Amino acid sequence: MEKIDGIVKKVESNIRLISNKCEGCGREDRNTYEIYYEILDRTVRYCSECSDKVKKKANDEVKSKLYKHKCENTNDYLRDMGVSARHLHCSLDNFTAGMQYTKFCKNYLRRPDKNILLTGVCGCGKTHLAVGLGRELIKNINNYKMKFITAPDLLLKIRQGYNRDGFDEDNFIESYSKLDFLFLDDLGAEKTTEHARATFYLIIDRRDRELKPTIVTSNLSPSQIAERIDERIASRLAGGNVVKINLPDFRLKRQ
C-alpha cells in the first residue's frame, strides 16, 4: 500500500487550472484547481485560498478508506508478514486471559519505538499477544515494513546461507535490520552455532542502534537468554520492555 504522501504527489502531478466551483468556499468566480484521487475515485476542486483545507479533507478521506481496507483485510497483511494460519485469528480483543497484558500492548501503540520481550511458559499466550500487536500496527500505521518469523526459522535461513556458495551475509543482515518492525517468535527454542549467534546478534544490534523495534517471544528470561544464547542479545532486549506473562499453559489446560 502506498504512503499517503506518495499518493498525493502522484495525483498532484495532474493538477489543472480550470474554472469551477471550489469545494472549500463554494465560490465560482475564481480560478480553481483540480486533482483526481484514484483511491477515492473522484476529483477534488479548490481555489488557492482553500488549497490546504480541501487537501487536508481529501487526505483524511484517503486515510479513512485505507484504514477501513486494512481492517477488512488484516489477515491478508498478517499472512504476508509471515504469520501462520494457526495464529491468524489472534487479536488483542480476543486475548481475555490477562487484561494487564493487552493494556500494555495498547499503551505501546501510542509510541511503538522500543524492543519488547514477551516471556513466559509455553502456551501462555505470548505469540497471541505478538500477533495481536502486529494486527493493530497494520491497522494504525501506514506503509511500515514488518516481518514475522520464528527464531528457529531465522536460524535455519542463516545456516542454509552459510552452506550456500555466494551467500551475501551483509545483505542478509540488512534485509532484516531495515524492517520497521521485526517479530521474532520462540527465541531459545533450539541450540545455535557460534556463527548463527553472531549473525543473530548483528541483526538485533543493528536494529537496536537504528531504533527499529524488535518484538520477541521466548520461554526464557533475560538472564536465561544471556546464559544460553548470548549476553549481548539479552542486554539489547532487556533495554526495552520486558513483559513477564504470569499465566499457565492454556494448551495443556484444554486437553
Do 236 and 111 reside in the same domain of the chain?
Answer: yes
pLDDT at 5: 54
Do 56 and 119 reside in the same domain of the chain?
Answer: no
Secondary structure tally for the chain: helices H, strands E: 11, 8
pLDDT at 189: 80
Do 49 and 96 reside in the same domain of the chain?
Answer: no
- CATH number for the domain harbouring residue 101: 3.40.50.300
Do 227 and 116 reside in the same domain of the chain?
Answer: yes
pLDDT at 135: 96
pLDDT at 163: 74
pLDDT at 14: 54
pLDDT at 248: 83
Do 90 and 63 reside in the same domain of the chain?
Answer: no
Give the C-alpha separation, 129 to 94, whole Å: 10
Going 117 to 222 to 211 to 205, the CA torsion angle's sign is negative
Do 16 and 105 reside in the same domain of the chain?
Answer: no
Mean pLDDT by groups of 10 residues along the chain of 255 residues = 50 55 88 87 90 92 85 92 96 93 95 95 95 94 89 89 80 95 92 84 95 96 94 95 90 60
Do 79 and 56 reside in the same domain of the chain?
Answer: no
Domain end among 20, 41, 72: 72
Q: Which domain holds residue 183?
A: 74-253
Do 165 and 202 reside in the same domain of the chain?
Answer: yes
Do 19 and 132 reside in the same domain of the chain?
Answer: no
User: pLDDT tens digit string along 66-103?
Assistant: 888 888 899 999 999 999 999 999 999 999 888 999 99
The pTM of the whole model exceeds 0.75 = yes
Domain end among 72, 105, 127: 72
Q: Which residue type is seen at 238? A: A
Give the strand pairing for 116-119 and 241-244. parallel
pLDDT at 252: 59
Domain end among 24, 47, 72: 72
Which three three-digit cell numbers place residue 136? 493493530
User: pLDDT tens digit string along 157-172?
Assistant: 888 887 777 778 899 9
- The domain total for the chain is 2
pLDDT at 158: 86
* DSSP 8-state secondary structure symbol assigned to residue 87: G
pLDDT at 13: 46
Q: Which residue type is seen at 224? A: Q
Do 13 and 120 reside in the same domain of the chain?
Answer: no
C-alpha separations of 44 from 30, 39, 171, 192, 199 in Å: 15, 12, 43, 57, 51
Do 38 and 147 reside in the same domain of the chain?
Answer: no
Do 239 and 182 reside in the same domain of the chain?
Answer: yes
